[in-house]
């Protein structure tokens, strides 16, 4: 099942894009502007390589981690059948039941038509990871978007710096100038898209119960995608009623 997730067009597309951005950034722009043999060039290459590696690692953690399914035979108790703070209190008087699975589902679980099952604390089905983003891999998803934003931002800054340094050298080299501009526009678009996605999920986390529910109590482990020992069973969640 995990191998089938990797062997898909979207996954190969992401890997190809990462390889392209990495090659262009390191072996064309950094090499052309600073030189990989210099201390400045080596420093740029190391920082970008680290951010790219952390993205790839987090990305495949997100791809290969099961988001979490409802346990067979799950039956909610009376307390857990009440709606959570994120759900409509007028439409969940009785225990929630999935019409497609013909079974009960916990608060914040939803049925995924692609995966054809109910997913715990489902956020969405992401075509780029060929997997649902849910209870067990949501942290890896957010962390991967964070590292991707860092990597593309750094790459765009390198390109911009390179263009500013070589602005006077582009005379008579129109194809090279077009290549620089095209890469700059594309990487800026990636940065803005990923940055917007990251900002949206930061907003969602900040308006959740607590950031602990997603990222964990130890801030030193927030940016490590496999540090998920704080995650519980996903069948129940603390609500404002618990503090009353």
- The yes-or-no answer on residue 126 being catalytic is yes
CA angle, residues 220, 218, 123, in degrees to nearest 5: 100
Q: Active-site residue among 126, 132, 162, 183?
A: 126
Count the alpha carbons within 13 Å of 157 in the hemisphere toward its beta carbon. 10
Q: What does DSSP assign to residue 37?
A: T
Integer Cα distance of 226 and 189 in angstroms: 29
DSSP count for the chain of H helices, then E strands: 7, 6
H helices of 166-220, in order, are 174-206, 212-215
> Contact, 173 vs 94, CB < 8 A?
no
Integer Cα distance of 229 and 47 in angstroms: 29
Residues that are catalytic: 126
């Amino acid at each position: 099942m995990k191998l089938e997730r990797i062997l898909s067009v979207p996954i190969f597309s992401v890997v190809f894009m990462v390889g392209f951005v990495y090659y262009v950034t390191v072996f064309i722009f950094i090499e052309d502007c600073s030189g990989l043999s210099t201390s400045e060039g080596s420093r740029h290459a190391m920082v970008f390589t680290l951010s790219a590696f952390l993205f790839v690692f987090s990305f495949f953690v997100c791809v290969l981690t099961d988001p979490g399914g409802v346990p067979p035979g799950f039956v909610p108790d009376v307390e857990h059948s009440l709606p959570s703070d994120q759900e409509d209190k007028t439409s969940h008087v009785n225990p929630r039941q999935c019409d497609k699975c013909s079974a009960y589902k916990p608060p914040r679980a939803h049925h995924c038509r692609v995966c054809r099952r109910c997913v715990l604390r489902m956020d969405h089905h992401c075509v780029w990871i060929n997997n649902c983003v849910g209870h067990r891999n949501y942290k890896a998803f957010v962390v991967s978007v964070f590292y991707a934003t860092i990597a593309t931002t750094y790459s765009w800054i390198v390109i911009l710096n390179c263009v500013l340094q070589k602005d006077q050298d582009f005379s008579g080299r129109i194809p090279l100038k077009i290549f620089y501009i095209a890469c700059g526009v594309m990487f800026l678009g990636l940065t803005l898209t990923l940055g917007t996605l990251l900002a949206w999920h930061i907003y969602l986390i900040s308006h959740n119960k607590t950031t602990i529910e997603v990222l964990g109590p130890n801030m030193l482990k927030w940016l490590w995608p496999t540090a998920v020992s704080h995650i519980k069973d996903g069948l129940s969640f603390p609500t404002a009623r618990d503090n009353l």
